[in-house]
Amino acid sequence: MASVDALRLTQDLLRFNTINPPGAEEPCARHLGAILESAGFRVTYHRLAADRANLVATIGGQDDVAPIVFTGHIDVVPLGAAVWSRDPFAGETDAGRLYGRGSSDMKSGVAAFVAAAVELAPHLARSPGVSIVITAGEETGCLGAFQLVATPGALGRAGAIVVAEPTGNFPYVGHKGAFWLNAITRGVTAHGSMPEKGVNAVYKAARAVTCLEHFHFRTEPHPLMGQGTLNVGTFSGGLNINSVPDRAVIGIDMRTVPTQTHAGIRDALAAELGADVDLETLLDVESVYTEPENEWVQSVFDVMHPHLGARPDAKTATYFTDAAALKPAYGHPPTIILGPGEPQMAHQTDEYCIAERVTESTAAFVEIMRRWCRA
């Protein structure tokens, strides 16, 4: 098969409208699957919903060494209310930047590892191998990754994982978890002119919000990630102004670190908020972390040294990725988050990636694959 140009492939992927919701990732996944299949990969698709699919592609494989996995998602977030100055689905370039929704988060990362895999494919048949996992539905809670985890035999094995989320080509050794809860208060409705006949759920919720504002985690901070965080992101209650509200809901977004457990956090919150508040889980993805001293992590640092101009020091991301689902399912292999996108451009109007970084990451991914596969 002819080589794949990662920049051109990024442009191709941007032209698929995969805004989630609704997603509609399957045509994009099948475009990538055709490229990988032509290069000799064994390709399978796993339906998430109508017009939505995950892709798993593998090549090589040995019993004694598990393959290296490269993973990324192809759904993107909505455009937002602000007007874009460029067509978000055209893949326009200007002054070394490639514009489009998903250019940084994270179609450039997917294009880079697919291009790298195609380049190295002729040398991988008798190697430990490479697995490509491309997911749908990441932006709404890693739905595609969790579907793969729940599908017997879909994933196979992994000796190491590279998640090509936007890092500006800096290798991160982990990321925070996400624990999202609804805190629900209930009351008794009554006419607004006779509030004494009812029980106001909003007043209960207001007291709970004040409690949450002053809530402190009692766990030790993580050496790299620091302490977990808590933010009240939404608040709603009541149906009309002239009734006593009998229900209110507080949306709580917590980003967690490896020194915490989500079960422990929930217990602490329940004790702090008291019997007037019920907790409902919306999203539960644990943090991801690999010790920087890990031999493979150090090898990745070696690969990235010339691209970054200095040897990387250990850092972690604040956002979460599909690794939260995939790393435990694969048996907790060492995991790096590393991709060409610009972290600050994720979800932004006029999102772009830097073309030079895409080329650099493709070369880096080839070397990371080559070292793992001894190809």
Q: Where are the alpha helices (DSSP H) in 97-171?
A: 108-120, 143-149
Task: State which of 240, 269, 285 marks the end of a domain.
Answer: 285
For 177, left (φ over 0), alpha (ψ -120 to 50), or beta?
beta
**The predicted structure's pLDDT at residue 226:** 96
Q: Which of 294, 187, 299, 290 is nearest to 237 (CA)?
A: 187
The answer on pLDDT for 2 being more than 80 is: no
Taking CA atoms, 122 is separated from 198, 298, 368, in Å, by 73, 27, 16
On whether both 108 and 240 belong to a single domain, the answer is no
The answer on pLDDT for 1 being more than 70 is: no
User: What mean pLDDT do residues 188-199 have?
Assistant: 98
Helix (H, G, I), strand (E, B) or coil at 217: coil
For 189, left (φ over 0), alpha (ψ -120 to 50), or beta?
beta
User: What mean pLDDT do residues 7-12 have?
Assistant: 98
Share of the chain above pLDDT 70, in %: 100
* 242-284 per-position pLDDT tens digit: 999 999 999 999 999 999 999 999 999 999 999 999 999 999 9
Task: State which of 270, 285, 300 marks the end of a domain.
Answer: 285
On whether both 351 and 248 belong to a single domain, the answer is no
* Domain count along the chain: 2
In a domain, 129, yes or no: yes
On whether both 163 and 70 belong to a single domain, the answer is yes
* 46-56 per-position pLDDT tens digit: 999 999 999 99
Mean of pLDDT over the chain: 97
- To the question of pTM greater than 0.85 for the whole model, the response is yes
User: What mean pLDDT do residues 173-184 have?
Assistant: 98
CATH number at residue 92: 3.40.630.10
* 16-38 per-position pLDDT tens digit: 999 999 999 999 999 999 999 99
Catalytic annotation present for 75: yes
- 95 token code pair: 């002054």
In a domain, 158, yes or no: yes
75, 139, 286, 342: the active-site residue = 75
In a domain, 206, yes or no: yes
Domain holding 51, by residue range, is 6-175+287-373
Categorize the per-residue pLDDT at 62 as very low, low, confident or very high, splitting at 50, 70 and 90. Answer: confident
- 87 token code pair: 């067509």
On whether both 87 and 184 belong to a single domain, the answer is no
CATH number at residue 193: 3.30.70.360
The answer on pLDDT for 92 being more than 70 is: yes
- Whole-angstrom Cα distance, residue 182 to residue 187? 16
On whether both 318 and 269 belong to a single domain, the answer is no
138, 165, 286, 360: the active-site residue = 138
In a domain, 1, yes or no: no
On whether both 268 and 304 belong to a single domain, the answer is no
In a domain, 137, yes or no: yes
* 98-143 per-position pLDDT tens digit: 999 999 999 999 999 999 999 999 999 999 999 999 999 999 999 9
In a domain, 201, yes or no: yes
On whether both 156 and 48 belong to a single domain, the answer is yes
On whether both 159 and 200 belong to a single domain, the answer is no
Task: State which of 285, 306, 332 marks the end of a domain.
Answer: 285
The answer on pLDDT for 372 being more than 70 is: yes
The answer on pLDDT for 63 being more than 90 is: no
On whether both 206 and 271 belong to a single domain, the answer is yes
On whether both 49 and 192 belong to a single domain, the answer is no
Biggest CA–CA distance in the chain, Å, is 79
On whether both 51 and 75 belong to a single domain, the answer is yes
On whether both 227 and 351 belong to a single domain, the answer is no
